[in-house]
Amino acid sequence: KNCEPAPDLRGLYLAPVLGRILAVAGPVVEVRGPGDAASTYPVRYTFGVEPLQQYLVDVGSGRLQALPVAWDARPAAEGGQRWFDLQDDPAPPGSPLHWLGPAFTWNDSCAACHSTGVDKGYDRAARRYQTTFAEIDVGCEACHGQGSRHVASARSGHPEPMPHALVKPDTRAWMPQPDGPIAKLQGADPSDPELGRCAPCHSRRTALEPATGAVHDASRIALLEDGLYFANGQILDEVFVLGSFLQSKMHAAGVVCSDCHEPHGLKLRARGNTLCATCHRPEVFDTVEHHLHPPESPGAQCTACHMPQRTYMGVDDRADHRFGVPQPLLAAEVGAPDPCVECHPTQAPAEAAEAIGARGPRSPASFGEALLAARRDEPSAAALLVEVLAEPKQPAIVRATALQELGHHAGPELLRQIQRATEDADPLMRRTAAGLADALPPALRQSLVVPLLQDPSRSVRVEAVGALIGAAPPLAVSPDAPGFRRAREEYRRVQEASADRAHGLTNLALLARFDGDLASARDLLEEAIALEPADLAANLGLADLHRAAGHEARAEAALRRALAVVEDRAVVQHALGLTLVRLGRSDEALEPLAAAHATRPDVARYGYVYAVALFDADRRDEAVEVLGRVHERHPADADVLETLAAYCEALGQHDDARRHRDALRSLRDPRQQGARGAAPAGARGAAVPDR
């Protein structure tokens, strides 16, 4: 269906955008590139209503791409009614974030959540889309299921409730408590499907199936990862709502989206503090004693302190749904904006914290210190993470994130925590345990991960398959292992649904490699690279496939091709260095190993391997110097400490060697096992990007 774009684009001439000049005449956009070469694309749809509108252009093969400029639909008084660039830092051609890249492809990245009944219709052989939808926007059936099934049930004479139909029971209500300031939920259905319907389109996730049923059947939800969230759990990247909400006391108490949001009118059920007063007694909470601000002032609004906003896509202000308590000192430490300091910029975080402490409630204990220590690779990180894991009141998404971070710290404590997590009540914990299979000895890996193939949640089952087939070294799993055939088929379906993306094809290649079909694995990886030449996991996977087949020279060629296109060059440089070592060209390997360390000094393993290569090349003083710098930056890395002590001893630096051995013994305290540098993202295992 074609449509005239709105607002009127005719005659518009835009300034350079992403190195291009955009000129628009009627429903056609002309993109001028370097050398004044021009491409013309039909504008098919206006995408969005408020606060911004994007425009979808037809670039051929059924693919619709969103232009990198948008119309600010806000009133002029609010700064709107203007064109603006969606990217402050334009992505280069070939990048997934370039406007012709997969991140801007409507068929895969946008359609499923913005229309109803979407069938992506991707034809792998032809590499084209035939995408269809039942309704152009989000209609009734998107949440309540197919209308035809409702009609058939009513006409049957024996109508039955539709599964996942989102019909709230009349008995569900929030009841004021005579002995407490906060209402409590009564008549709740523990199998309430509402969150499962809302979550897929309001979360950072990888899709596992159409949005029906439980949250962890439809989606692989992103944890509180570095780059997505600040260490204290505040929103950083475009993570939408669910990851924040799962951290909240609201979620723990049974609150669901429609308690505050009216889903049909797309409005809140009440305005301002009146909405919060539905459950929180205003005589307790809407007071100067609680919010510390003059009545009716901006600072007296509940959302000002408990739901600070962050702006995305240039003009879209989105509220943090953690419902957190301001902690100015912690926010300053993790680099997050703090609502107190944002409103009182002349006040230092320490002053704000003192004011809160003197007049307000005591801030609750936070997991932020543990995640920050882990991100900084501090010696205290492992012990702090174990403390978070030992606290049952911590939200599951927090504990799962702590477990994932603990995965960088090898030792008995990690094994104990993985074992416990496989039996945890929450799917996020069990999924994270499965994803850490590489940290387990092979025998224990099978005994802990294979039972997860029969887990109640699809996200756990799919993760378990990925862990087993992507393990290094590969595991021998019997096809008759309980649940393996079913889970393997689920894994295959999930990846085939993403076969228009490199990560889906890369995971299918893992499956083919696990089955011993190396030719198919190679074809799939080459197809993935043809689709997305800069995809890191596909390029590394192809090189590793050649290595496993004994073709080191082909692996070298694949890595050198990857160096020309991938954004994370360090991981490719590191892999190239290791390949050259295996080829017997150790002196030549020093250059890419040094480059990897220089590019990413935050990855301890790169510096460690480079130092070992220097030592083996009889450049021993340089090796100790490099290891010393790595140790200063990564004091909790036991491999670095142990090797540094040995090298110092070999050079006759006995006092330094003794000091490093003492530090190593301290590090290997029973509650703080030796650290191991984290494997770079995409270097091994399944390629599952959250989005």
Contact 631, 637 (CB under 8 A): yes
AA identity, residue 292: L
pLDDT category of residue 32 using cuts at 50, 70 and 90: low
Write the Ramachandran bin of 431: left for phi over 0, alpha for psi from -120 to 50, otherwise beta: alpha
pLDDT category of residue 670 using cuts at 50, 70 and 90: very low
Other CB atoms within 10 Å distance of the CB of residue 365: 12
Domain assignment of residue 48, yes or no: yes
pLDDT category of residue 428 using cuts at 50, 70 and 90: very high
Residue 16 has pLDDT above 60, yes or no: no
Residue 344 has pLDDT above 80, yes or no: yes
More confident residue, 610 or 634: 610
AA identity, residue 155: R
Contact 402, 231 (CB under 8 A): no
Do 207 and 326 reside in the same domain of the chain?
A: yes
Write the Ramachandran bin of 572: left for phi over 0, alpha for psi from -120 to 50, otherwise beta: alpha
Q: For the packed helices 396-406 and 427-435, what is the interaxial angle rounded to 10 degrees?
A: 10
pLDDT at position 441, please? 83
Domain assignment of residue 268, yes or no: yes
Do 116 and 221 reside in the same domain of the chain?
A: no
Tokens of 202: 């309001």
Residue 565 has pLDDT above 80, yes or no: yes
Q: Using CA atoms, how far apart are residues 69 and 87, in angstroms rounded to an integer? A: 8
Q: In angstroms, what CA-CA distances link 671 with 274, 381, 392, 536, 636?
A: 48, 10, 18, 36, 13
Other CB atoms within 10 Å distance of the CB of residue 68: 21
More confident residue, 342 or 89: 342
The mean pLDDT of the chain is 89
Residue of 490, 267, 478, 231 whose CA lies nearest to 369: 231
More confident residue, 121 or 357: 121
pLDDT at position 69, please? 84
Helix (H, G, I), strand (E, B) or coil at 280: strand
Do 208 and 302 reside in the same domain of the chain?
A: yes
Do 350 and 220 reside in the same domain of the chain?
A: yes
Residue of 109, 132, 129, 110 whose CA lies nearest to 119: 132
pLDDT category of residue 358 using cuts at 50, 70 and 90: confident
Contact 538, 559 (CB under 8 A): no
Domain assignment of residue 29, yes or no: yes
pLDDT category of residue 355 using cuts at 50, 70 and 90: confident
AA identity, residue 473: P
pLDDT at position 680, please? 40
pLDDT category of residue 2 using cuts at 50, 70 and 90: very low
The tens digit of pLDDT for each residue in 67-83 reads 888 889 999 999 998 88
Residue 168 has pLDDT above 90, yes or no: no
Percent of the chain with pLDDT over 90: 71
Domain assignment of residue 451, yes or no: no
Q: Using CA atoms, how far apart are residues 230 and 213, in angstroms rounded to an integer? A: 30
Residue of 157, 137, 246 whose CA lies nearest to 202: 246
Domain assignment of residue 490, yes or no: no
Domain assignment of residue 484, yes or no: no
Domain assignment of residue 193, yes or no: no
Domain assignment of residue 467, yes or no: no
Total structural domains in the chain?
A: 2
pLDDT category of residue 8 using cuts at 50, 70 and 90: very low
Do 102 and 238 reside in the same domain of the chain?
A: no
pLDDT category of residue 445 using cuts at 50, 70 and 90: confident
pLDDT category of residue 689 using cuts at 50, 70 and 90: very low
AA identity, residue 329: L
The tens digit of pLDDT for each residue in 242-300 reads 999 999 999 999 999 999 999 999 999 999 999 999 999 999 999 999 999 999 999 99
Domain holding 351, by residue range, is 200-356
pLDDT category of residue 690 using cuts at 50, 70 and 90: very low
Do 250 and 330 reside in the same domain of the chain?
A: yes
pLDDT at position 4, please? 40
Tokens of 649: 């001893």
DSSP 439: G
* Exposed / middle / buried, residue 518 (Cβ in 10 Å: 0-12, 13-18, 19+): middle
Do 90 and 214 reside in the same domain of the chain?
A: no
- Nearest 5 degrees, angle CA 113-CA 20-CA 91? 55
Boundary (domain end) residue, out of 341, 356, 371: 356
In the block, tokens 């002309």 appear at 30
Tokens of 150: 């409702």
- How much is the pTM? 0.90
* Exposed / middle / buried, residue 141 (Cβ in 10 Å: 0-12, 13-18, 19+): middle
Q: Which of 153-167, 290-304, 339-353 has the lowest mean pLDDT?
A: 153-167
The mean per-residue pLDDT over the stretch 549-560 comes to 97
Residue 533 has pLDDT above 80, yes or no: yes
The mean per-residue pLDDT over the stretch 620-630 comes to 97
The mean per-residue pLDDT over the stretch 201-213 comes to 86
Which residues are bridge partners to 311 per DSSP? 317
Residue 561 has pLDDT above 80, yes or no: yes
Boundary (domain end) residue, out of 67, 95, 129: 129
For the ranges 108-122, 197-211, 356-370, the maximum mean pLDDT occurs at 108-122
Boundary (domain end) residue, out of 68, 95, 129: 129
Q: Using CA atoms, how far apart are residues 252 and 432, in angstroms rounded to an integer? A: 20
Strand pairing class (82-85; 122-123) = unpaired
- φ/ψ of 5, rounded to 5, equals -65, 145
- Nearest 10 degrees: CA dihedral of 504, 510, 516, 520? 30
